[in-house]
Amino acid sequence: MLETILTGTGLTMQDMALCTLCSAAMGLCLAAVHSYKNSSSRNFLMTLILLPVIVQVVIMMVNGNLGTGVAVMGAFSLVRFRSMPGSAREITSVFAAMAIGLAAGMGYLGAAVFLTASVAAITMLFYSFPVREERMLRRDLRITIPENLNYSGLFDDIFAQHTREVSLLRVKTVNMGSLYELEYDILLKSPEEEKEMLDAVRCRNGNLTVSCGWKAEREDLL
């Protein structure tokens, strides 16, 4: 299964076609796996399909030529530094596509299929588990209070009951200085407690404006 099909010294059109078909098929599978519970542009998915084919053809062309192989490796290294930062999942998919193309270019079609199946199985298994991430419980809470209220410790008992973490990020005056707006970064104990917490805050701040939304976080970039 893991033996190379390129047994001769020369390269035949049949071998080239077989390796190219394998690379394209594995690239198509990799693009489908990358789209699983993920939003991607059509251009990036097309890149994942064609990248194994391109790498495979390059590897087959420089097979046995050490100097040319080193030069090509240096050219590929420039791709990372001349591109915009991508998410961790995108970079992983790009490296997987290059590994598939490398295996197919050396004639190890079984290894290319095995690598694709392994990446697909691990990815789909990981994203199939219902994991409640901490960021799903993090909120950006903004509370408006009258200027005559001392905001220091004003909502501590409410936060102690409904949150695991709380930080006062900013205080600013609004409405010509007659009101204060407090901005908190909070981590809820449970999403079901959000409304109960907001009702308690509204009773404390005189039913002035209260807003609570998802805490925007920067995407993991590499």
How far apart CA 160 and CA 16 sit, in angstroms, is 66
What is the residue extent of each domain of the chain? Answer: 13-128, 134-213
Element (DSSP H or E) covering residue 201? helix 194-204
Domain 134-213 has CATH 3.20.20.370: no
Q: Rounded to two decimals, what is the model's pTM?
A: 0.67
List, in sequence order, every residue forming a beta bridge with 166; answer none if it has no partner.
186
Task: Please give the Cα distance from 29 to 25 (Å, whole number).
Answer: 6
Q: Percentages helix, strand, coil for the chain, rounded to the nearest 5?
A: 55, 15, 30
pLDDT of residue 202: 94
Tokens of 39: 């939003």
pLDDT tens per residue across span 24-71: 999 999 999 999 888 888 899 999 999 999 988 888 887 656 555 666
